[in-house]
Structure 1
Amino acid sequence: MEAEVLVIGGGLGGVAAALAALRAGRKVVLTEEFDWLGGQLTSQAVPPDENSWVEQFGATASYRTVREGIRDYYRRHFPLTERSRAWRHLNPGAGHVSRLCHEPRVAVAVLEAMLAPYRGSGRLRVLQPYRPVSAETDGDRVSAVTVAHRDGDDEITVTAPYVLDATETGELLPLTGTEYVTGFEAQSETGEPSAPDVAQPLNMQAASVCFALDHVDGDHTVDKPARYGFWRTYQPDFWGGPLFSLSAPHPRTKEIVEREFTPNPDDDPLAVVADQRLSPGDSNLWTFRRIAARRNFADGAYESDITLVNWPMIDYLPGPVFDVPDAAEHLTAARELSYSFLYWLQTEAPRPDGGTGYPGLRLRGDVMGSADGLAQAPYIRESRRIRAERTVVEQDLSLAVRGDAGAVEYPDSVGIGMYRIDLHPSTGGDHYLDVASCPFQIPLGALLPERMENLLPAGKNIGTTHITNGCYRLHPVEWNVGEVAGALAAFCLERGTSPRSVRNAPDLLADFQKRLTDEGVELRWPEIAAY
């Protein structure tokens, strides 16, 4: 099969990359391993982690189209109350983590609708479910990638002038021999204040297998997992107690705090303020990542709220889920951890009335689109990362380092983002790392491998460090990175040039940046005057 732009991986970055290349008139092949396009927003089931100003600025125009498309879908197809239907910034789940907590299947519908015209015209071919298994290279160029059907032996080899790696773990990097890093870099290499003295390539952020729950009458307790006894007593050295508890360390202070767990509180969804500048919102785990608030809908439409379990208790710490011989075993164990925590919630979790367990908790695999009840894919917080022409380091954007000067401004900016450097506990035994950051830019140099000429990262595999990945890994930034990668491939095909030349030739860079701004990509944060 041939294409002009080949995008391997159909997560947020992959879909954004495909759309950008398609809007520029290019023929695209897009592959995806799981049943849903959308990655962390859909198959991984994580509500969007976004900056506090996302309703006004701080994301690309096409990302805003996705967000508003989700709200419009609810207004067209769901039995919302009149108050909720009129709510301009409708938050279907009224979750505290995001202004747009929603059921993942809705995002799938919106993304598919955005791609539909290109599928119909034949300019887009989607190979699903396919995963990359090998690649051919010619010097510093990728000449072909072979993908295999997830459930069988069928293989397809695709050639294209530009190949984009939008996989969740940077799978094309080892397949193509592209230089990359994993885990913690050494402070001697990056100069980062929070980096260790010695590099720790297998020390990566925990992955998590999320799941959805509601709470209804009856006993919905799952079968006791085989290794429940192990997980029930599992206690990381730095945690301060067993992992299975409603008590857990605060990510910023490390002090042990008690979370509430109150299924179906009779709260007003329109009164929820989802702004993590004011509060992280995790004091009540039920409403933290709630994806359907029953009070948003007509009486009786939903028996219960639906909440998304992406909590500290399911962060998998025993080992990395890639680049180790036993990666598959770790992925299996991560799913077992999530089942075990569900069983603990149903049978042993302390209740306010003095009892234990919530047997009315019901696993909603239908909401996840999976047969086993859990999310189709693990939530991957940290990918392989290219060795890039420009690597973003902690001192580029740390508030403690930069202060009132703000983050470093890059002349080759191709987007913006904002989130605290938010690192979850890691496979090497490190605690949370939470560093205040400044609103930052995305440098084009972070998308350019040191050596490879036609391979571009289109997700969490850009030139960040273990530390700065903690704020470049979120939904709107991943989308921005993918959109730029797709646009860059199309621009290079149109101009007969290379990505490296675009960055290093002032006229080409100016033309490309203008192309991005014309498409609604914000390159700099606005200056806001306070009155």
Structure 2
Amino acid sequence: MSAAPTPRTRELGTDVLVVGAGPGGLAAALTAVRFGHRVVLTEAADWPGGLLTAQAVPLADGHRVELDPVSPGYRDLRERIRDFYRRNYPLCPEPYADPLLDPGLSTTGHLSHEPRAALAVVQELLAPHLASGRLTLLLGHRPVAARTDGDRVTAVTLEAADGGPLTVGAAYVVDATDLGDLLDLAGVEHVTGAESREETGEPHAADTADPLDQQPFSWVFALDHRPGEDHTVDRPAGYDRWAGAFSWETAEPGGTAARQVPLFLHEPDEVPPWGAPPNDRWHQRRVLARSRCLPGTFDSDITLVDWEQTAYTRLPLVGGGDGARARAEREAREQALSFLYWMQTRAPRHDGGRGYPELRLRPDVTGTADGFAMTPHVRESRRIRAEFTLLEHHMTAAARAGARGAETFADSVGTLRSRITLHPGAGGGAGLDLECLPFQLPLGALLPVRVENLLPAGRNAGATHVSAPALGGHAGQWSIGEAVGALVSYCLEHRLPPRAVRGSERRLASFQSRLSDSLGLALAWPDRLRTGPVTSAGPLYATL
């Protein structure tokens, strides 16, 4: 009997290939296509949106995002999510009229929403460009190989779950994957894990470098609360290996004394409809507050579980050897499911009992069969060896004491306000929670040291283990993607490599004018805002 024939590799050509449809990939693709270029956008999951949708991590910006000179594109994304709820949900009059509508009223971020609400908005953003034919969206496609010619990446081969391989050739390739997968496939110089203090000079860098010291990742799952019902899941096979570490204890920012943060502080129905939500677990990532809608619309709130109890630290996702990534993902899911079982059966209750069997998984919220997110919530990626590396002491309030704001960069391509929130992970390094001053995003941090036509659009930009978390949130990834989309567009039009744009004052000024004039991006902070630190948003694990 002869073997089945190997599927022929299909081929496709485009101006720009964006691999990964998270916030950075979306921004890069939308920006390039708006300037008239052909773009192929791919995503391994069944939903575009990445962090916003498939990973089930809602927007986590603090309240200052409403006042800061944020990217118009990112502000539009936020307003479209709010408008989705106004158009489709029977909101009470007060939240409906609130220009800063927060559907979930969570204690993390200022706009908490369901993953599918973000999905609807992402689909709206992509729709006109798909209809024009300039944008091609390939879902369920993951990169498996890259073809290079010297210092250029000429094509990327993608594997689809329901078809044969597809090779896409492009003038420019954007790596917007969660783990910087193309950096590895294309042999682009990069770093993983923690650098040493000797290498970076950062005050909080490790004494010695450790490529396996990577932040933890999590499998997020969605729950509602059904008093009087029993929705206890089957006891996971590996429950005993995780259960001993479960409790309601949490670490404060900076590693200070732990404290108890239970699921509920009191009966959920006792929460005032528009009062400040209590600082308990349920409200940390609540994405739908039923009090926002007319009485009788919903029987329960909906919350997402993405807390330190589900942060997986045993194996890194990158560099752990053959099979380590698959094993880590499998164990992380088992850990999360075990925590759910513990909550349903053994967790101390607010009323003195044990276990909350009334907690129910919500598969419809995550778009999966089991109520778990499609893909894990990834906090750290491979990072390019860049023309310029953004460091802790360029932006933190402590390191910049006495200076007038964060470091300024002549090659700025955007502005960001964030914190450095570093979770202790696979290498056992200490967690950090550091105030940052409002800072600029330098173009040099987006340019690999050698490769000419592959650019990062996410956590894989030129930063360090310590500084990268300041770029890793929704706003940071969007800003990086927007700058990269504009850069490849500029380079295609002027037939220039990205390095030549940064290397010429005239070209750099011309490109920066495109960013400010065409996209409305602020490239510098107003003096009145430059020295304002970011206030803490809550417990260490309450932020990205």
Give the TM-score range, shorter chain. Answer: over 0.9
Q: Name the CA distance, whole Å, in 1 between partners of 2:145 and 2:76.
A: 35
Q: Contact 1:211 / 1:310 at 8 angstroms: preserved in 2? A: yes
3-state DSSP class of the match of 1:54? helix
Q: Contact 2:157 / 2:168 at 8 angstroms: preserved in 1? A: yes
3-state DSSP class of the match of 2:399? helix
Q: Name the CA distance, whole Å, in 2 between partners of 1:439 and 1:134.
A: 38
Identity of aligned residues (%): 48
How many residues are paired up?
512
Residue type of the alignment partner of 1:140: D
Could you list the runs of 5+ residues in structure 2 that have no partner in the other structure? Answer: 1-11, 532-544
Residue type of the alignment partner of 1:185: E
Matched, 1:392 2:376: no
Q: Name the CA distance, whole Å, in 2 between partners of 1:409 and 1:359.
A: 54
Matched, 1:466 2:487: no
1:294 alignment partner, one of 290, 315, 335: 290
3-state DSSP class of the match of 1:271? coil
Return the offset for 1:433: 1.3
Matched, 1:114 2:125: yes
What is aligned with 1:162?
Answer: 172
Residues 285 and 493 (structure 1), Cα distance of their counterparts in 2 relative to 1, 3 Å cut: same
What is aligned with 1:197?
Answer: 207
Q: Contact 2:225 / 2:360 at 8 angstroms: preserved in 1? A: yes
Q: Name the CA distance, whole Å, in 2 between partners of 1:254 and 1:331.
A: 30
Map Cα deviations across residues 28-47 of structure 1 (whole Å, 9 max, x no partner). 00000001111111111112
Return the offset for 1:365: 1.5
What is aligned with 2:276?
Answer: 272
What is aligned with 1:422?
Answer: 421
Residue type of the alignment partner of 1:232: A
Q: Contact 1:51 / 1:58 at 8 angstroms: preserved in 2? A: no
What is aligned with 1:187?
Answer: 197
What is aligned with 2:345?
Answer: 347
What is aligned with 1:261?
Answer: 263
Query: 1:74-89 alignment to 2 at 5 Å?
Result: 74-89=85-100
Return the offset for 1:321: 1.5
Q: Contact 2:458 / 2:471 at 8 angstroms: preserved in 1? A: no
Residues 508 and 266 (structure 1), Cα distance of their counterparts in 2 relative to 1, 3 Å cut: farther
Residue type of the alignment partner of 1:98: G
Return the offset for 1:111: 1.0
What is aligned with 1:408?
Answer: 407
Q: Name the CA distance, whole Å, in 2 between partners of 1:454 and 1:65.
A: 29
3-state DSSP class of the match of 1:346? helix
| TM-score in terms of structure 1 length | 0.94
Runs of 4+ in 1 over 6 A off after TM superposition: none
After the TM superposition, which of the residue ranges 408-417 and 252-261 deviates more from structure 2?
A: 252-261
What is aligned with 2:145?
Answer: 134
Q: Contact 1:51 / 1:418 at 8 angstroms: preserved in 2? A: no
Return the offset for 1:527: 2.6
What is aligned with 1:488?
Answer: 487
| TM-score in terms of structure 2 length | 0.92
Superposition CA RMSD, Å: 1.4
After the TM superposition, which of the residue ranges 16-25 and 51-60 deviates more from structure 2?
A: 51-60
What is aligned with 1:321?
Answer: 317
Q: Name the CA distance, whole Å, in 1 between partners of 2:409 and 2:62.
A: 20
Q: Name the CA distance, whole Å, in 1 between partners of 2:234 and 2:520.
A: 50
Q: Name the CA distance, whole Å, in 1 between partners of 2:122 and 2:68.
A: 21
What is aligned with 1:247?
Answer: 249
Q: Contact 1:101 / 1:289 at 8 angstroms: preserved in 2? A: yes
Matched, 1:2 2:49: no
Q: Contact 1:385 / 1:462 at 8 angstroms: preserved in 2? A: yes
Map Cα deviations across residues 447-483 of structure 1 (whole Å, 9 max, x no partner). 0000000000011100000000121111101001011
Map Cα deviations across residues 337-389 of structure 1 (whole Å, 9 max, x no partner). 11000001101110122210000000111101111210111010000000000
What is aligned with 2:7?
Answer: none
Map Cα deviations across residues 142-191 of structure 1 (whole Å, 9 max, x no partner). 01000001x24511100110000000000000110100000000111100
Map Cα deviations across residues 478-508 of structure 1 (whole Å, 9 max, x no partner). 0010111111001100111110011111111
What is aligned with 2:509?
Answer: 510
Map Cα deviations across residues 386-445 of structure 1 (whole Å, 9 max, x no partner). 000000111111211102421101110111112221001110112321222211111000
Residue type of the alignment partner of 1:344: W
Return the offset for 1:269: 5.1
Q: Name the CA distance, whole Å, in 2 between partners of 1:520 and 1:300.
A: 43
